[in-house]
Chain A
Amino acid sequence: MDNILKLLKQNARLSNKEIASMTGLTEEAVAAKIKEYESSGVIKGYSAILDDDLADKDNVTCFIAVKVTPTAEFGFDAIAKKILSYKEVESLTLMSGAFDLAVTISGTNYKEIALFVAQRLSTIEGVVSTSTHFFLKRYKDKGFMINADDKDERSFVSP
């Protein structure tokens, strides 16, 4: 992966100037490169990594394993398109293995999510089964420690 992308994945708030100093490129070159990544769709957006429990007490997230039977006229993509149109859906991925689609959904309470699954998700044509798993505690997300102790064991000063 390009160094600019690596740095932005670590910290999307780095300025072009900082990225330039770290990669040895000029500020203009960095700006141009990022623009290019944005317009070609490599970079989809920028968001903060939150401890959702601290940011919003009324937040429930769950992961739903969805099995589907695609048909000739209604394949994986068509089913996926249907699911991703719901704004509650945070992420949606086609998987290999025991189920087909991995869906994560956030809501304000368990009931809301249960209703979403029952009324919106399971009723989609082609969806055979769903199994819903609630997030209880997140330890690490996108490489960042959420609820884990990442203490520096080194002493403050050493030769």
Chain B
Amino acid sequence: MMDYDRILSEKCKEIKPSGIRKFFDIANSMEGVISLGVGEPDFATPWSIRSKAIDTLQKGKTVYTANAGLLELRVAISKYLERKYNLKYDPKEDIIITVGGSEAIDLCIRAVVDPGDEVLVVEPSFVCYKPIVDLMHGVPVVIETKPEDNFKLTAEALREKITDKTKLLILPFPNNPTGAILTRPELEAIAEVLRGTNILVLTDEIYSELTYQGKHVSIAEIDGMQERTLYVNGFSKAFAMTGWRLGYVAGPQPLVSQMLKIHQYAIMCSPTVSQYAAIEALENCDKDVQAMVREYDMRRRYIVNAFNELGLDCFEPGGAFYVFPCIKSTGLTSQQFCEDLLYKHKVAVVPGDAFGNCGEGYIRVSYAYSLQHLKTAVEYIGEYLDDLKKNNG
């Protein structure tokens, strides 16, 4: 008999299963669940993008592209970054088209982390950063963001965690799960801490288009930061293209050229049809994005208000499509609250601690749903909270 335990690497075995998995399994086994649990848009990809993909297929453009991706798409990305943030990237040297922002994040971490290197991970945040650092035998060093700071990374918190082993800061704003964003002055303060160092920033700006309080600012725009920044973005959230699996990384050529080796051997190239379609997304879909943002914004305002009225404190997020209400007043842990809510009132939300220990006491609620759906779910959550009060009183 095979001893699989001895086959599996220690590093792989050590990876903790995602805190989300359990809720997925429970929700999936139940009938009539109302979910507020997803991390992807409810919109279909804008029609012109789909149409471009169909056209690409009809023309039989179904072969590999260059490893770094279609040059035409890299040119479109470099123009987009210039148009949005006045950033200049050479499409031939500085950009790799990846399989989602996910692969871009993986590439960045794998290209720079040696065993023992410390990587600063801001939490609460998206679930993939720490496990990848672990796989590289790096040391994730968590920086907790706090509700009193509106879940922003502060310069002081950053400075405290820097040691001579610090190699990389992962900066995840606009943030999943809190919806926090960083303004230009806040980014300036962070840049001030980093400029004199040899610390690299991996900025995950996958929600950059989905901001509701002024224009998104990239850390790479701040003086002296572009040379120390790997910029990650993708098409999943802004253009409602999660299933197309397309993202990209832009950064200094000496890093990107090395990262390209990993991408070349692990992936070869990103999906060709998606790449052609993505050109359309960047060049002709500003209006579609604006319409989606307007819709998200209305829902965001609705849901923040609704939770505050239910008595669950909810800070007003400036980006992404999540709210992160505090459930400490119920006396339950995040896991208890979410399980109870799911079993008793059939609403699925994600426990905050799935995004880091400091997410304990919070739940992540996605508003990538129709207003009607949100209203129904809020009503059910209200009933659940009333039941809790009755049972406690």
Contact = CB atoms under 8 A, between A and B. Distances in A.
Interface of A: 3, 7, 10-11, 18, 21-24, 152, 154-159
Contacts of B28: 155-156
B42 to A, nearest CB: 7
Contacts of A11: 371-372, 375
11 contacts: A11-B372, A11-B375, A23-B301, A154-B40, A154-B42, A156-B27, A156-B348, A157-B35, A158-B39, A159-B126, A159-B128
Contact of A152 (B20, B42, B128, B350): B42
- The 5 A-B pairs at the shortest CB distance, nearest first, are namely A157-B37, A21-B305, A156-B27, A156-B35, A157-B24
A56 B298 CA distance: 35
Nearest to B300: A22
A155 to B, nearest CB: 6
A18 B302 contact: yes
A3 B301 CA distance: 13
A135 B46 CA distance: 31
Interface of B: 18, 20, 23-24, 27-28, 33, 35, 37-40, 42, 126-128, 176, 298-299, 301-302, 304-306, 348, 350, 354, 371-372, 375
A152 B302 CA distance: 21
Given A156-B27, A159-B20, A10 B35 contact: no
Contacts of B348: 156-157
Contacts of A157: 20, 23-24, 27, 35, 37-38, 348, 350
A3 B306 CA distance: 19
A159 B39 contact: yes
Nearest to A150: B370
Nearest to B34: A156
A156 B302 contact: no
Nearest to A20: B305
A157 B354 CA distance: 12
Residue in A3, A10, A154, A156 whose Cβ sees the most chain B Cβ within 10 Å: A156
Contacts of A24: 301
A78 B73 CA distance: 59
Contacts of B301: 21-24
Contacts of A10: 371-372
Contacts of B306: 21
A4 to B, nearest CB: 11
A21 B302 contact: yes
B31 to A, nearest CB: 12
B47 to A, nearest CB: 16
Nearest to A144: B372
Nearest to B176: A159
Contacts of A21: 301-302, 304-306
Residue in A7, A10, A11, A159 whose Cβ sees the most chain B Cβ within 10 Å: A159
Contacts of A3: 298
Contacts of A154: 35, 38, 40, 42
